[in-house]
């Protein structure tokens, strides 16, 4: 029982580290998005045909998927630890 508890705590600590890493990446993505939006606004003002960057929505999608995965894994651990 103690070994399982230590294993769960270890997994939770790893998930916390992963989550914080992805959280900091999300800050970077949001900063990049704001810069790109400002750039697009300038292009729209000065040019009639701005180019849209399709990589930003992909980055957001990837970040959300990772966060959902970590959240789901934490839920699974929480549920499995109740049955011990």
Do residues 26 and 63 make contact, with C-beta atoms less than 8 angstroms apart? yes
Q: With 60 as the cut, is the pLDDT of residue 40 above it?
A: yes
The per-type count for the chain, helices as H runs and strands as E runs, is 2, 0
**17-32 residue pLDDT tens:** 988 888 888 888 888 8
Residue found by looking up tokens 């990049």 in the block: 32
Closest to 57 in 3D by CA, of 20, 38, 32, 39: 32
Residue with the bigger pLDDT between 58 and 40: it is 40
For residue 64 the two structure tokens come to 């959300």
Nearest-10 crossing angle of helices 2-46, 55-82:
160
Predicted TM-score (pTM) of this structure: 0.39
- CB-neighbour burial class of residue 6 (10 A; exposed 0-12, middle 13-18, buried 19+): exposed
């Amino acid at each position: 029982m103690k070994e399982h508890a230590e294993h769960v705590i270890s997994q939770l600590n790893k998930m916390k580290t992963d989550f914080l890493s992805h959280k900091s990446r999300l800050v970077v993505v949001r900063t990049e998005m704001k810069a790109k939006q400002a750039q697009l606004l300038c292009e729209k003002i000065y040019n009639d045909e701005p180019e849209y960057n399709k990589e930003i929505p992909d980055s957001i999608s990837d970040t959300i998927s990772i966060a959902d995965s970590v959240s789901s894994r934490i839920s699974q651990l929480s549920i499995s630890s109740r049955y011990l």
